[in-house]
Structure 1
Amino acid sequence: MLRHLCLLAGMLAFWVIQGQDMPLEYTFGDKYKDRYKYSNLLSFSETVSSDKILVRGYYSGLLVRPKGYLIERYNSDLHLVEEYNYKYKDGDFVHGFVANDQIYLLFLEYNSESLSYEYNVHQSPVGAYNFTVRNILTLKADYVESPVDKNYFNRTFKTGFSTTVLSDPKSRVFAISILQSQNKDLTHRILIYNNRLERIMDSDFSSESQEKNFAFEELAVSADLSAVYLVGKAYFRQRRFKAEERKFQYELVRLHKSGITTQVFDVPGKFSEALKPLWRGDQLICAGFYADRKDNRYNGLEYLVLDPNSLSVLERKYNPFSEQFMLDKFGQDSEKVIKNLVFKGAHFTTDGSLLFNAEEFFMTESMQPNASGGRVQVQRFHHNDIVSVKLDAKGNLLWARNINKTEVTQGDGAYTSYSSYTKDGQTYFFICLASEEPQLIGSDRLIFKQGFSRSRNVFVIRLDAEGALSYEKIIDSDEARLPLMVSIPFINLENDQLLFYAKQGSRKQLVSVEVH
């Protein structure tokens, strides 16, 4: 027993000592009062003068629908310069960004007079706040309850109208995917707009959708905006499957003015999972995971170098998960499987190596009593383990690590999950938890648990260039006071800075973290 206690104490001491040299510096902005207790942060952008623009949808009353949108502008010193309450409560917010010194808010609205869905952009100069409305797309369709479809599960495609909006990280373009069905007629249309709201592509995707329903998840765009690449799950229609079989395959779609190209990367015994398109200079890379059979488990890492025009595979690598990785995640329990991974971050180092990370993300449903004595169905969103991987310039696995974490939320997911930043080959993961320290599980593994207190601590977990792991609690709840929305920061690559929005009840502030 004494030997085991000494071993555990030594391991914990190692973690703490290793975490004391985090090259991070954080700064708190002033605290401000806020009248909107219930709100969601929808977009976090930057102007040409380096001011930060935040757009929040706020709620009141019993119905969970936005009553308006609060626009906040902060300067580089984290001071709140101005607020503007845009009292608009119709339609579904689907995208927001700042470009050309303008704020763009994209809504999907149903016009009951013309019986059509309208994509309308509400636009205003930054600082002037004189919104005008511009229609960029109108589609005849019957009204459906939930037209905006963007999640990683429960894709039924049974409504007559379903739409998804994706954009690239730099807000240069955004894609609108519309799937419509009436009687036996099915149409699928994909439109691409630049950040001046100019339509640069309009593609009829209906022929590809006759046998499969496409649920797009990732978007990449060429440097000259001439080609857009979409990755998504293609769900087979009118096929019979065994209960344990997956009903989809991952496909990459290239949209260009000259036409549409699709590509499937599955080969016998290797089935693509959770792919992400990335640019390394002028090379198009697809990285992700693979399964060795047609079920929902992941068995390793997939790395593809593609011809950007034909999408043909120039190089292909498969790396099975290592024994160390499986021990990180499951300990000695060899019967458990890996699944439900969603990409969060990717970064190429100067030597061409790829560092990327993903999160175990899934949803559960249950029934619980309500105030009137009845029962309601409750959805819970689980943000669990972090998977971090390093591949060399040829796609060979250098290391893969699993960071044990467990979080669950029923509402705003901004406070759960994590964000990551990579500098000099080291990756930093920012998480916000109520627990004071990670917990020991088994004899040699730690887990970061959500905790139950309203107070939150900010932890940073670091993986160095060799995959060695350390952590540190960089901001204590007594110091921060307000919990940080760690999953949706503004990342300033030029200054190695992350900005986090912190809010609780009627108080708010910005927090800056710099990586040195």
Structure 2
Amino acid sequence: MLRRLCLLAGMLALWVTQGQDMPLEYTFGDKYKDRYKYSNLLSFSETVSADKILVRGYYSGLLVRPKGYLIERYNSDLQLVEEYNYKYKDGDFVHGFVANDQIYLLFLEYNSETLSYEYKVHQSPVGAYNFTVRSLLSLKADYVDAPVDKNYYNRSFKTGFSTTILSDPDSRVFAISILQSENKDLKHRLLVYNNRLERIMDSDFSSQSMEKNFAFEELAVSKDLSAVYLVGKAYFRQRRFKAEERKFQYELVRLHKSGIKTQVFDVPGKFSEAVKPLWRGNQLICAGFYADRKDNRYNGLEYLVLDPGDLSILQRTYNPFSQQFMLDKFGKETEKAIKNLVFKGAHFTADGSLLFNAEEYFMTESMQPNASGGRVKVQRFHHNDIVSVKLDPEGKLLWARNINKTEVTQGDGAYTSYSSYTKDGQTYFFVCLASEEPQLIGSERLIFKQGYSRNRNVFVIRLDAAGALSYEKIIDSDEARLPLMVSMPYVDLESDRLLFYAKQGSRKQLVSVEVH
């Protein structure tokens, strides 16, 4: 037995080590007092002078609605230069960014006098904070309770009015998808604006939506902004399905002044899941997962090369999950299914290989008693395992690893989940957990658990170019004191640096992590 345990320990040591040589350097900014205990970080941007702008929506009272927006400006030394309280509490915040040395906040409001929904832009020069408001778009519609579509998995198309906002990572453009239904009349409109708020596309998508309801999830844009590519789930309308059968298919939509083109990814026996459009030079690549039957489980990885003009598929590559990956995730329980994966990051290496990662994300609901003796529905958002993959330039699988993790939240998801950064073929995952160390499962796997303490530790998990895993606790809770919003960093590619916002109660600070 002793010999067997030593062998297992040796095998584990080869697979994962607690690294003490992470090429990382971290810096704490000064701590500052903050009067808004309850708030959400909405955007994290950079100005032309390299200052960082953070926008938070803050809350007070019994109703969980924003009472205003706090704008914070930090310099390159992580010092708080100024903050401005924008006391605006109407409408739903849908997008925010900094461009042209201006702060743009986009809200969706309902005008009860004109019986219409309005997209309004609140704009101010950085530092001056003299906001002006103008209407970007107005649409006649009846009022609905939740017009902004936020639910990733169970989209609802029965409200009469629903809208989704998508933006590219560099905030060059944003797209607005608007679905309106009144009796049997269905209208679907797609609009695209650049970061100067100029409308560059306005497309009627209604004919494509007669048989399917589209819920868009990802956006990519060409270098010259002449074409926008949207990927989403197309839910079939007026079809009957078996209880276990999927009711959608993933499709790619190309918006261009010449018209709209669509492409379906599925082929017999291969059904696409969680697809993300990516640019590798002038090549349009769609990477994601696939299932080999019409249910909700994933069986492997897909890699598609498309013509950016007509969307014809030039190359298809399918890779089933490896035995190592299944062992990482389930150990010897091989009958369990992989599902609910959401893209988080993607990076092409110098030789054209693709490194991407995704997270196991899902929502559960339950009823629990409230203070008045009644019962209230509670939603919990689960951010679990990390999946990391490397594909060669032809889309062939080099390795796939699963990092076991369990986190759940009822409110602000910024503290849960993770962020990633890739440099020199190595990917670093940043997680913020209350546990002191990961736990060993079944003598062969590690799991990073959320823990219950108010204080959080920052762990970095590294996958090297060969897929070997190591980890290190880089920031101890005794040192940091404030938990980091690890899922919403500002990523500075030029300096290989990530900036994290740390906040708890009435204290806040910035933390810089540099990758060497």
* Same fold? TM cut 0.5: yes
Query: Aligned with 2:414: secondary structure?
Result: helix
Which of 305-314 and 151-160 deviates more?
Answer: 151-160
Matches of 2:67 and 2:234 in 1, distance apart?
36
Matches of 2:390 and 2:16 in 1, distance apart?
24
**Correspondences of 1:75-154 after superposition (within 5 Å):** 75-154=75-154
1:313 maps to which residue? 313
Matches of 2:267 and 2:58 in 1, distance apart?
48
1:444 maps to which residue? 444
**Correspondences of 1:206-285 after superposition (within 5 Å):** 206-285=206-285
Query: Aligned with 2:3: secondary structure?
Result: helix
Q: 1:482 and 2:482 equivalent?
A: yes
- Which whole-Å deviations, capped at 9, do the CAs of 1:276-321 have from their partners, x for residues lacking one? 0000000000000000000000000000010000000111100000
Query: Aligned with 2:329: secondary structure?
Result: helix
**Is the CA contact (8 Å cut-off) linking 2:300 and 2:318 kept in structure 1?**
yes
**Is the CA contact (8 Å cut-off) linking 2:15 and 2:468 kept in structure 1?**
no
Offset, 1:93: 0.0
Distance change >3 Å, CA 126–CA 202, structure 1 → 2: same
- Which whole-Å deviations, capped at 9, do the CAs of 1:423-454 have from their partners, x for residues lacking one? 00000000000000000111210000000100
1:358 maps to which residue? 358
Q: 1:205 and 2:205 equivalent?
A: yes
1:323 maps to which residue? 323
**Is the CA contact (8 Å cut-off) linking 2:12 and 2:444 kept in structure 1?**
no
1:497 maps to which residue? 497
**Correspondences of 1:6-17 after superposition (within 5 Å):** 6-7=6-7, 10=10
Distance change >3 Å, CA 17–CA 317, structure 1 → 2: closer
Distance change >3 Å, CA 117–CA 364, structure 1 → 2: same
Matches of 1:259 and 1:251 in 2, distance apart?
16
**Is the CA contact (8 Å cut-off) linking 2:180 and 2:188 kept in structure 1?**
yes
Matches of 1:156 and 1:485 in 2, distance apart?
29
Distance change >3 Å, CA 330–CA 17, structure 1 → 2: closer
**Is the CA contact (8 Å cut-off) linking 2:366 and 2:377 kept in structure 1?**
yes
- Which whole-Å deviations, capped at 9, do the CAs of 1:447-484 have from their partners, x for residues lacking one? 00000100100000000000000000000000000000
1:53 maps to which residue? 53
Offset, 1:14: 6.1
Offset, 1:18: 4.8
Offset, 1:150: 2.5
Matches of 1:42 and 1:11 in 2, distance apart?
44
**Is the CA contact (8 Å cut-off) linking 1:16 and 1:472 kept in structure 2?**
no
1:510 maps to which residue? 510
Offset, 1:341: 0.3
Q: 1:470 and 2:491 equivalent?
A: no
**Is the CA contact (8 Å cut-off) linking 1:328 and 1:403 kept in structure 2?**
yes
Q: Which amino acid aligns with 2:484?
A: L
Q: Which amino acid aligns with 2:203?
A: S
Unpaired segments of 5 or more residues in structure 1?
none
Offset, 1:156: 1.9
Distance change >3 Å, CA 476–CA 11, structure 1 → 2: farther
**Correspondences of 1:347-496 after superposition (within 5 Å):** 347-496=347-496
Query: Aligned with 1:333: secondary structure?
Result: coil
TM-score (norm 2): 0.99
Matches of 1:449 and 1:247 in 2, distance apart?
34
**Is the CA contact (8 Å cut-off) linking 2:16 and 2:468 kept in structure 1?**
no
Offset, 1:382: 0.2
Offset, 1:140: 0.3
Matches of 2:303 and 2:503 in 1, distance apart?
39
Q: Which amino acid aligns with 2:411?
A: G
- Which whole-Å deviations, capped at 9, do the CAs of 1:103-134 have from their partners, x for residues lacking one? 00000000000000000000000000000001
Offset, 1:2: 3.1
Which of 367-376 and 62-71 deviates more?
Answer: 367-376
Q: Which amino acid aligns with 1:460?
A: V
Matches of 1:453 and 1:369 in 2, distance apart?
24
Computed over aligned residues only, the root mean square deviation of the Cα atoms, in angstroms, reads 1.1
- Which whole-Å deviations, capped at 9, do the CAs of 1:204-248 have from their partners, x for residues lacking one? 000000000000000000000000000000000000000000000
Q: Which amino acid aligns with 2:401?
A: R
Q: Which amino acid aligns with 1:115?
A: L
Matches of 2:18 and 2:28 in 1, distance apart?
25
Matches of 1:154 and 1:403 in 2, distance apart?
26
Offset, 1:49: 0.2
Matches of 1:310 and 1:14 in 2, distance apart?
48
Identity of aligned pairs, percent?
90
Query: Aligned with 2:407: secondary structure?
Result: strand
**Is the CA contact (8 Å cut-off) linking 2:189 and 2:202 kept in structure 1?**
yes
Q: Which amino acid aligns with 1:410?
A: Q
Q: Which amino acid aligns with 1:237?
A: R
- Which whole-Å deviations, capped at 9, do the CAs of 1:186-212 have from their partners, x for residues lacking one? 000000000000000000000000000
Q: Which amino acid aligns with 2:471?
A: Y
**Is the CA contact (8 Å cut-off) linking 1:15 and 1:471 kept in structure 2?**
no
Matches of 2:191 and 2:206 in 1, distance apart?
13
Matches of 1:41 and 1:435 in 2, distance apart?
24
Query: Aligned with 1:327: secondary structure?
Result: helix
1:191 maps to which residue? 191
Q: Which amino acid aligns with 2:403?
A: I
Aligned pair count reads 516
**Is the CA contact (8 Å cut-off) linking 2:17 and 2:471 kept in structure 1?**
no
**Correspondences of 1:149-168 after superposition (within 5 Å):** 149-168=149-168
Matches of 1:252 and 1:75 in 2, distance apart?
40
Matches of 2:333 and 2:14 in 1, distance apart?
25
Q: 1:30 and 2:33 equivalent?
A: no
Q: Which amino acid aligns with 1:385?
A: D
Query: Aligned with 2:295: secondary structure?
Result: coil
Matches of 1:88 and 1:455 in 2, distance apart?
33
Q: Which amino acid aligns with 2:376?
A: V
